[in-house]
Structure 1
C-alpha cells in the first residue's frame, strides 16, 4: 500500500509538472506568434507604409526613361511609374538618383526600397536581386557622329565604343562584337560625352534613348535597325523581400491591365508598349 501511495503521488507530481510545461508551451507559442507578427511588420512593404515615404532608385541620365532636369527634378517614364506606385501605397515619393553600378548597394544600404532604373533582369543579376515581372522591354542602339559615320553593325569592328560600365550594353558589345573596342565609363552621361567630344567612335545605349539623343543633337545619328538583343526590364528588390515583391508584381499587373503602362510609354517614347509586355499571362 505504501508503494502504491508513493506511486500515486509520483504520478500526481508528474501530472502537475506537465501542466505548467504545457501552459508554458502555449505561452511560448503565443510569443512566437507575436514574434512572427513582428517579423511580418518589418518587411519593406510595411516599412514604406509606416514611414509614409517610398524611396525609389532611378537613373538621372537615361532619357526618356528617366533624366534629371537643370532644376534638379527627375522626370520620365520610370519616375511616372514610381509616382503611380507611391500613390497606390498612399505615401509620398522620394526619388534617389544613382548610376548603374549602385543599384544593388543602394538597397543594401537601405537608401532605396526598390529600383525602377531600367534594370535588365539577367540570370546573373538574379543571383543577388529579386526581380518583378517586367513592365517594359528594351534593346540596344548604336550612336555615332555624322562626321564619322557608321553604316552597319559590321563597321563596329575595330571601332572604340563607349558604354556604361557593367550595363547590359557593356555585355552586348563585349559578347556580340568581339572585334570592337569597348571603352567603359561609370555612367551613361560620361559615355555619351565621350562620343560627342570625339574620344570614341561610337556609343551603345538603349535604342529609345539613342533616338531621343539624336533628336536633341543634330551632329549625332543612329543606325536604322531593330533594337539589338531586346531584354525584359523589371523592378529590383532585395532577395529576402517576398511580401514586397508580391505587392510590386500585383501593382505591375494592374498597371498593364488598366492600360496605364501603355499610356505612360506612349507619353514618353511616342510608340506602343512592346507586345511582349502587354501579352504577359
Structure 2
C-alpha cells in the first residue's frame, strides 16, 4: 500500500469513527430559536396537572412549566401525556422536556437525563379503613389499582414480589382511570402518589378510605433527553435559582399544602 493510499484509508476510518459518535444536541438553542418550548404534562393527574372548569390546563406541573417558559422568554406549548408515555414522547422529540410528576428512578436514568430535583413524591397504598393492611404482605390475595408505568406501579410490583404476596395488580393507562376504577368500586385498594390518594379519599368519603403505608418517596425533576449538556446546565441552574428565590417552593406549597423539605433548597 502506498503512503497516499494508506493516508486515504486512515482518513476514511477516522471519518466513520467520528460519525459513529452521536453529536451533542442543542435543544436549548432550538427552543430559543423557535420561541417555543414543548412540555409534556399529564393533565389527568391532579393536583400536578388537570383541566379547570374552563378546560384550561392547571396544576403544579402547569405552573412550573409556565415559570420555565417565562424565564426562557418563550411560548409554552403543553403536550398531553400519560404516565406510561412520558419517556417515549421525550425520546421521539414530541416534547422538549417532561414536567409531569416525573420521579427520578434508576431505570429511567438509563435512557433519559434529569434536572436537579425540585420536589418530592411519596407513593402510598390506600384502602378502606376496615382493611388490615400494614405492609405488602397485607396485599396477598387482593386486587390493587395503579396507573401503568408510574413509580407507584414500580414500587408496588417490586414490593409484592419481594414479600411473596399474591396481589392482583390491575394496571390502568393513566391516573384518572385508576382513580375512577376505585371510586366506582372496581377495586378497593389504590396505589399512587400521596396527593392523588388524598384527593381520592377526600372526593369519595363514602369509600371510607385511608392511607395504609408509604411504599417510597421519590425526588421529582424535569426530564430531558440524554446528551443535552447546554439544556441540562440551564435547567439545573434554573431549578437552583427558583428554589432559592422561593418560586418553586411557593408552587409546591400552593398545591400540596406543605413546605418543600429543607434539603431541596440548599
For Structure 1 versus Structure 2, the TM-score category normalised by the shorter chain is 0.7 to 0.9
The 5-angstrom pairing of residues 1-281 of structure 1 reads: 43-145=26-128, 149-154=130-135, 155-178=138-161, 179=165, 180-220=167-207, 221-223=209-211, 225=213, 227-279=214-266
The Cα offsets for residues 38-62 of structure 1, whole Å up to 9 and x where unpaired, read as x88x611111111111111011122
Shift of 1:92: 1.3
The Cα offsets for residues 153-204 of structure 1, whole Å up to 9 and x where unpaired, read as 3432221001111211111111113312211111111111111222212111
Shift of 1:144: 3.1
Aligned residues: 237
The two structures, once aligned, show a CA RMSD in angstroms of: 1.9
Larger radius of gyration: 1
> Structure 1 272/107 Cα, relative in aligned 2: closer, same or farther at 3 Å?
same
Contact map agreement 2:36 2:77 (CA 8 A) in 1: yes
The Cα offsets for residues 24-81 of structure 1, whole Å up to 9 and x where unpaired, read as xxxxxxxxxxxxxxx88x6111111111111110111221121123533211111111
Contact map agreement 1:107 1:238 (CA 8 A) in 2: yes
The Cα offsets for residues 77-134 of structure 1, whole Å up to 9 and x where unpaired, read as 1111111100111111111110012112212332211000111111111110011110
In 2, Cα distance between the equivalents of 1:189 and 1:233?
A: 20
Contact map agreement 1:145 1:196 (CA 8 A) in 2: no
In 1, Cα distance between the equivalents of 2:113 and 2:44?
A: 24
In 2, Cα distance between the equivalents of 1:239 and 1:219?
A: 46
Any gaps of 5 or more consecutive residues in structure 1?
1-38
In 1, Cα distance between the equivalents of 2:180 and 2:41?
A: 20
Contact map agreement 1:141 1:222 (CA 8 A) in 2: no
